[in-house]
């Protein structure tokens, strides 16, 4: 609470998150034990919640933006033997998870390669997931589950996807698409990689945006 009361300037949520890690210890939060979602998405949510707490303390309206939860069958993280300093890893996770678009993700990825050399597979997967996350945010997707047999997007009511265009896809003969009343749009696949399947689905949905 004292930390929240002290850091009331704009953008202090990340500082509070760092202070909290210093007080409690980073532990395995950024280690290999926390692969994929927790390392890249959970940390972003943690910092986002602290940002909201700062706004509430200042008496400001809290605007709830989309923070897409990802569930992919890949290991995505920054290994300790690639980025040794825990503070630097924390900063990179935060920047990647909050990047506004694919170009920002690419800039961070290039910066990492310049500083630390060619990234290992886990780090490359993290970058790929964060690129997808920027597209999913644009679709106002609350969550995305991507596997070999199916990709499911949990969409908000204010998604920019055109309802009629989506229903045309769902109702097409032998359509791989299904839409449930709670706004979960699923596309079936015959196998393959969940990440690539998600890319395929997003490419198809690009034609379903509102005019």
pLDDT at 150: 98
52 exposure class (CB count in 10 Å sphere: 0-12, 13-18, 19+): middle
| CATH class of the domain defined by 140-211 | alpha beta
Per-residue pLDDT of the chain (211 residues; tens, 9 = 90+): 444 344 444 334 444 444 444 444 444 444 444 444 444 445 455 556 556 666 666 776 554 567 899 999 889 999 999 999 998 998 999 899 889 899 999 999 999 999 999 999 999 999 999 999 999 999 999 999 999 999 999 999 999 999 999 999 999 999 999 999 999 999 999 999 999 999 999 999 999 999 8
pLDDT at 48: 60
pTM of the shown model:
0.70
pLDDT at 22: 41
Query: How do strand 177-179 and strand 69-72 relate by DSSP bridges?
Result: unpaired
Q: Which is it for the CA torsion 181, 187, 190, 196, positive or negative?
A: negative
Tokens encoding 205: 């949905």
């Amino acid at each position: 609470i004292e930390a929240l009361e002290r850091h009331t300037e704009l953008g202090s949520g990340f500082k509070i998150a760092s202070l909290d890690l210093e007080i409690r210890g980073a532990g395995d939060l950024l280690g290999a034990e926390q692969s994929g979602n927790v390392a890249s998405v959970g940390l972003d949510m943690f910092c986002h919640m602290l940002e909201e707490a700062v706004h509430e303390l200042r008496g400001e309206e809290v605007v709830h933006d989309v923070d897409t939860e990802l569930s992919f069958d890949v290991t995505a993280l920054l290994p300790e033997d690639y980025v040794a300093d825990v503070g630097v890893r924390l900063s990179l996770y935060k920047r990647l998870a909050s990047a506004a678009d694919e170009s920002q993700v690419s800039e961070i990825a290039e910066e990492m390669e310049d500083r630390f050399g060619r990234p290992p597979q886990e780090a490359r997967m993290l970058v790929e997931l964060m690129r997808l996350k920027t597209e999913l945010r644009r679709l106002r997707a609350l969550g995305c589950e991507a596997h070999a047999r199916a990709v499911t997007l949990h969409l908000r009511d204010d998604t920019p996807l055109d309802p009629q265009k989506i229903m045309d896809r769902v109702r097409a003969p032998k359509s791989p698409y299904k839409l449930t009343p709670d706004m979960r749009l699923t596309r079936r696949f015959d196998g393959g990689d969940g990440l690539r399947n998600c890319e395929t689905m997003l490419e198809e949905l690009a034609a379903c945006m509102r005019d």
